[in-house]
Structure 1
Amino acid sequence: MRSDTDMLRLLLDLAERDERIRLVTLEGSRTNRNIPADIYQDYDISYFVTDLEAFKQSDRWLQHFGEPLMMQKPEAMELFPPELGNWFSYLILFKDGVKLDLTLIPIGETDDYFAQSDGLVEVLLDKDARVRNAIVPSDRHYWIRKPTAREFDDCCNEFWMASTYVVKGLTRQEILYAIDHLHEVVRPNLLRMMTWLIGSEHGYAFSVGKNYKFIQRYLPPPDWETLLSTYSGNGYPEMRRALTVCQALFRQYAKAVAGRLGYSYPAYDEAVTIYTERLYVD
């Protein structure tokens, strides 16, 4: 696999030689000093160009970066509608394992880019001195944020309502329906609540990472093991147990958050628990 120095040199060499490329930025985890560096990090690069359509006419220019194992062009797909407006991106996995996410942006949309940036940006090349103020990458956008009383209640409401859908799927023998609601709604709200308690205990000046990947650092080992147990198993008894464990953890953490922040924990927890237990029996 090519080194960071080699890959960044390739990316800048092309930009320096091509007059259509006026500005180059690096985004994502490689700009975040709080993320341990490793060989699996993508290179999230943006080229700000004067003629975007000319680049799109052929992919041959991308060979400058190496031999691809696979490439995806999200804005050229039909099944998945594009989401970047006038921007165009290439997601490239090279044969040596390097992953490049390269986005072409019209130079006229530079201000819009920085206005909507998440803060994890580093300017690598600026031919026209367009970026007048110093850019210091920061993951502040992803820091844990103290929930309002309404947000806290919304999280509780969503968790317990979705729990009834999981039970309904299990009692109907529709396990994929149950699994989907557990994985996509129930557990994410449990993780959100856990993060809120972590923030209330440790402050709100850090992030637990994308997909909560660093949450283990802040959870008591028994709670971490209990949380992990909800990911295993694919049968009906296992799914029922996973939901019951999620409910117990959510109750524990939500009550702790309510106590620390002075919020009210909803009484419908008990009613929904009784309701779901009755469905299991029926």
Structure 2
Amino acid sequence: MRTENEILDIVLDTVRADDAVRAVIRTDLLPVTKYLYSYQFCFIVDDIEKYDDDKIFETCFGKRVLLYRGDKNYPEMFPGAKAHLMVFEDGITLVINTMDKDTFLSRFNRENFYENVWIGDTYQKILDKDNILPEIERLEETQTIFADTPTKEIFDNTCNEFWWVMKTFAEYTLRKELPSAMFYLNVAVRDLLNKMLRWHIYLESGKPVDMGVLDSKLEELLEDELFALYKKTYPSADYDQIWSAFNAVATLWNKVGNMVADSCGFPYPEKTEIEMMEFIARLKEN
């Protein structure tokens, strides 16, 4: 597998030979971790359409085994850019987003409405052929930082939404509509559960917390007892296990919800929870 310096050398050699590339910024500068040898770059170009060709980077960085064009599948995530996400035979991943100067500066200055944690928010300029860019360096990730305390209205509305999607999750499970049930558990329900957990972690820490992409740092940030319960919210496709996961979610929501409410100084809506659990129990009996 090629080293970081080898990757940087081959990228710089490639762009120096390409007159259309005027500057290069390395992005997503978080530490490389085990099993993740990924390098991301923004190329500032003066001919964006040249990079709409899938073969443009086919051979210059090594033997490519996969090309995924993110801009073609999700254009709203890559406005004004051509995104080449590539995997190479030696285990290296390269992501190259080509764009013009104004598009890059809009992203760097956080002017884009669509936040994209997959691109990251760390930048370091490594080449500028014409000095067209200002100083570009930001080495601290900000998109995954959480520092939010709910108002009573937001907290109550979130609890109401949670019990609505829990009801819907239960209905799909009772009808044995597995794809819909698992979607509701792992998207609709989990999004709200994770929001409550983020509130709890921030309130306990008393300072902004880096949650990681898609809350990937929950295991290290959450108390052992709570994370052990959180793991029980992931079932197999067996319906008995799905109901066990439902109960684990409800138990965890109650524990953490009460802790958040206590920290914020307002009551937890216990009556709503009791009535919704009774409602769902009656659904199971019919």
Common fold, TM-score beyond 0.5?
yes
Deviations 1:61-91 (A, max 9, x none): 4411111111112334xxx452223211111
Is the contact made by 1:140 and 1:206 (CA closer than 8 Å) also made in structure 2? no
Partner SS, residue 46 of structure 1: strand
Structure 2 match to 1:27 = 27
Q: How far apart in 2 are the matches of 1:199 and 1:36?
A: 26
Structure 2 match to 1:155 = 158
Alignment of 1:6-85 (within 5 A): 6-28=6-28, 31-32=29-30, 35=31, 37-57=33-53, 59-76=55-72, 80-83=73-76, 84-85=78-79
Name the aligned partner's letter for residue 122 of structure 2.
L
Range 209-218 or range 107-116, more displaced: 107-116
Name the aligned partner's letter for residue 192 of structure 1.
K
Q: How far apart in 2 are the matches of 1:85 and 1:273?
A: 44
Is the contact made by 2:37 and 2:91 (CA closer than 8 Å) also made in structure 1? no
Q: 1:59 to 1:134 in 2, by over 3 A?
A: closer
Q: 1:68 to 1:224 in 2, by over 3 A?
A: same
Is the contact made by 1:146 and 1:204 (CA closer than 8 Å) also made in structure 2? no
Alignment of 1:118-267 (within 5 A): 119-133=121-135, 135-149=137-151, 150-266=153-269, 267=271
Q: How far apart in 1 are the matches of 2:265 and 2:276?
A: 23
Partner SS, residue 43 of structure 1: strand
Name the aligned partner's letter for residue 103 of structure 2.
E
Name the aligned partner's letter for residue 220 of structure 1.
E
Range 249-258 or range 106-115, more displaced: 106-115
Number of equivalenced pairs:
275
Name the aligned partner's letter for residue 85 of structure 2.
L
Q: How far apart in 2 are the matches of 1:56 and 1:179?
A: 37
Structure 1 match to 2:114 = none
Q: How far apart in 2 are the matches of 1:260 and 1:214?
A: 22
Q: What displacement does 1:133 show?
A: 3.9
Name the aligned partner's letter for residue 197 of structure 1.
H
Q: How far apart in 2 are the matches of 1:39 and 1:180?
A: 28
Range 243-252 or range 150-159, more displaced: 150-159
RMSD: 2.0
Structure 2 residues not aligned, in runs of 5+: 112-119
Q: 1:247 to 1:122 in 2, by over 3 A?
A: same
Q: What displacement does 1:21 show?
A: 0.9
Higher normalized helix content (fraction of residues): 1
Q: How far apart in 1 are the matches of 2:81 and 2:32?
A: 30
Q: Taking every aligned residue pair, what percent have the same amino acid on both sides?
A: 21
Deviations 1:239-281 (A, max 9, x none): 1110111011011101101110123422411211111111112
Q: 1:38 to 1:237 in 2, by over 3 A?
A: closer
Query: Does 1:113 find its partner at 2:107?
Result: yes
Structure 1 residues not aligned, in runs of 5+: none
Structure 2 match to 1:281 = 285
Partner SS, residue 204 of structure 1: coil
Q: What displacement does 1:100 show?
A: 1.0
Q: How far apart in 1 are the matches of 2:122 and 2:133?
A: 15
Q: How far apart in 1 are the matches of 2:68 and 2:251?
A: 42
Partner SS, residue 141 of structure 1: coil
Structure 2 match to 1:104 = 98
